[in-house]
Structure 1
């Protein structure tokens, strides 16, 4: 049936698979993602910049409110800038862990992860990628464009980014130091952008360890 549109539309015919293959593909994808872990022990081995760019390209395919794509991914490879980010992050984290900013409930929730204010991995990894959320857009004349569902949109994009890194054999961590305003300053970002997640990107160290976590079974996450 022919449809009339006020804006450009194009045909979309996604690939369809036999039911048995659908389930097998879904199972392989799940098992692949289930092997992913957040890493805090990284190698300093170089990683091709192309791989980071490809992960950002994958993130940029995420759905977003009104297709406004309210995200910016800033890639930091310069050692001095990575050092500045580490130092600033640790100042905030020391306030959390040693300065009493973490509530007892928060400390209890984090205990099994054994996290500390030491963020030395921010200097070890070859790349830091900072995702910024655009609170609003800016037209060439300086006027603002309202953005919709910013947190939801940027969160989905970051999920795609993580999955793409894992697909390439790279590791990362969703680091969210609080507050994160120092990232906007160090990265020289405009006022309409706020730091969302800081991703260290690299290979896991040969002796890396991760908490022995068990994910919730399907019966607990499927309502």
Structure 2
């Protein structure tokens, strides 16, 4: 038991968000199995209020990038606070999102709310958040890189992904192999002694 969880924790400690992807195709069977793992997450009343839209079509990815960059440009230049911009400066992120077009796969995760074809769900954000965590883990363990991207607002994703109004996008995840020679910011994680509280 101890060996298993230590090995898992060590493997997950190597996970990093990647913003520069190779265009090399990835096995779609791996993507499907990662989504299968994500869909095993617990959910309020077991209503499983999630939808995972796997986008591989080049034109659709281009539209997604253009719409996301339009929202992000507005956010970075007009709406973002100086404090927030300072906080993300070490990561090197800005309004340009080429990874949405370059990555071979983009997974758009939607929350499923009450609608004409869907019952009222419970604890939607909590349930979908857990599922996204499982998805990130499954993709990392399969050897693929990903990133959680949250343009705001995200209503444009319903049209691009052909989803009904009761579905609301919550995260966009480009998936693929890291680009050759890609580097990531030098970040440190808080030590266990700082995040674990015993009582």
Question: Same fold, TM exceeding 0.5?
Answer: yes
1:58 aligns with 37
Q: Deviations over 1:23-74 (max 9, x none)?
A: 1111000000000000001000011111110110000110001111000000
3-state SS of 1:199 partner: strand
1:195-210 matches, cutoff 5 A: 195-210=169-184
Q: Decide whether the 8 Å contact of 1:133 with 1:195 is kept in 2.
A: yes
Q: Distance in 1 between matches of 2:149 and 2:27?
A: 22
Greater than 4 Å deviation, 4+ residue runs:
none
Q: Give yes or no for the alignment of 1:68 onto 2:47.
A: yes
Alignment partner for residue 114 of structure 2, among 130, 136, 142? 136
Deviation at 1:138, TM superposition (A): 4.3
Unmatched 5+ residue regions in structure 2? none
Q: TM-score, normalised by structure 2?
A: 0.96
Report the aligned-residue RMSD: 1.0
1:3 aligns with none
Q: Decide whether the 8 Å contact of 1:74 with 1:131 is kept in 2.
A: yes
1:181-196 matches, cutoff 5 A: 181-196=155-170
Q: Give yes or no for the alignment of 1:40 onto 2:8.
A: no
Q: Decide whether the 8 Å contact of 1:137 with 1:147 is kept in 2.
A: no
Instruction: Count the aligned residue pairs.
Output: 197
Q: TM-score, normalised by structure 1?
A: 0.86
3-state SS of 1:62 partner: coil
Q: Distance in 2 between matches of 1:61 and 1:206?
A: 33
Q: Decide whether the 8 Å contact of 1:133 with 1:151 is kept in 2.
A: yes
Q: Give yes or no for the alignment of 1:78 onto 2:57.
A: yes
